[in-house]
Amino acid sequence: DIIFFWVSRMYFQSLHFTGKAPFKKVVIHGLIRDEQGRKMSKSLGNGIDPLDIIDKYGVDAMRYFITTNSTPGLDMRYSETKLQSAENYLNKIWNACRYVELTLGDGYAPTPIDVKKLGVLDKFILSRLQSTIKKVTTKMEEYQFGAASGYLYDFVYDDFCSFYLEMSKVSLSEEGQREMVKAVLYKVIRQIILLIYPYCPFVTEEMYLSLPGHKDSIMLESYPEVDRSLLFPAAEREGKLLSQMIKDVRGYKSSRKMAPNAPLDLCLSPSPLFKGVEVYLQRFLFAKKVSFAKEAGKGDCFVYGKYTLSIREDIDPAQAKKALEEELSRLQSEIQRGERMLSNPGFLSKAPKEKIDLESEKLKTNREKKEAVLSRLSEL
What was the pLDDT predicted at 278? 87
pLDDT tens for residues 240-261?
A: 999 999 999 998 887 766 778 8
Query: In Å, what is the CA distance from 237 to each residue of 128, 240, 243, 304?
Result: 10, 5, 10, 11
Residue 64 pLDDT class (50, 70, 90 cuts): very high
**Overall residue count recorded for the chain in this entry:** 380
DSSP states of 68-102 as a string?
HS--TT--EE--HHHHHHHHHHHHHHHHHHHHHHH
The stretch 16-41 carries a mean pLDDT of 89
The stretch 67-87 carries a mean pLDDT of 89
What was the pLDDT predicted at 316? 59
What was the pLDDT predicted at 21? 93
What was the pLDDT predicted at 369? 85
The stretch 23-38 carries a mean pLDDT of 87
| Lowest-confidence region among 138-147, 288-297, 346-355 | 288-297
pLDDT of 112 higher than 80:
yes
pLDDT of 314 higher than 60:
no
How far apart (Å, rounded) are the C-alpha atoms in residues 290 and 132?
33
Residue 315 pLDDT class (50, 70, 90 cuts): low
Residue 136 pLDDT class (50, 70, 90 cuts): very high
Residue 4 pLDDT class (50, 70, 90 cuts): confident
What was the pLDDT predicted at 323? 76
The stretch 47-66 carries a mean pLDDT of 94
| Lowest-confidence region among 95-109, 201-215, 340-354 | 340-354
H helices present in the chain, as ranges: 3-18, 50-57, 59-68, 80-104, 120-141, 145-154, 165-172, 178-196, 201-210, 233-255, 277-285, 317-342, 345-350, 353-379
pLDDT of 307 higher than 90:
no
Residue type, 282: Q
| Lowest-confidence region among 5-14, 124-133, 155-164, 344-353 | 344-353
pLDDT of 177 higher than 90:
no
- Could you give the percent of the chain with pLDDT greater than 90? 59
The stretch 265-276 carries a mean pLDDT of 84
What was the pLDDT predicted at 297? 66
pLDDT of 169 higher than 70:
yes
CATH number of 237-379: 1.10.287.380
Hey, which of 63-72, 182-191, 268-277 has the most confident mean pLDDT?
Answer: 182-191
What was the pLDDT predicted at 257? 62
How far apart (Å, rounded) are the C-alpha atoms in residues 221 and 216?
9
- The helix/strand/coil state of 313 is coil
| Lowest-confidence region among 45-54, 178-187, 311-320, 348-357 | 311-320
The stretch 80-101 carries a mean pLDDT of 96
Kindly report the average pLDDT of the chain as a whole number.
Answer: 90
Residue 213 pLDDT class (50, 70, 90 cuts): very high
For the chain, give every domain's residue range.
1-30, 80-231, 237-379
CATH 2.130.10.10 fits 80-231, yes or no: no
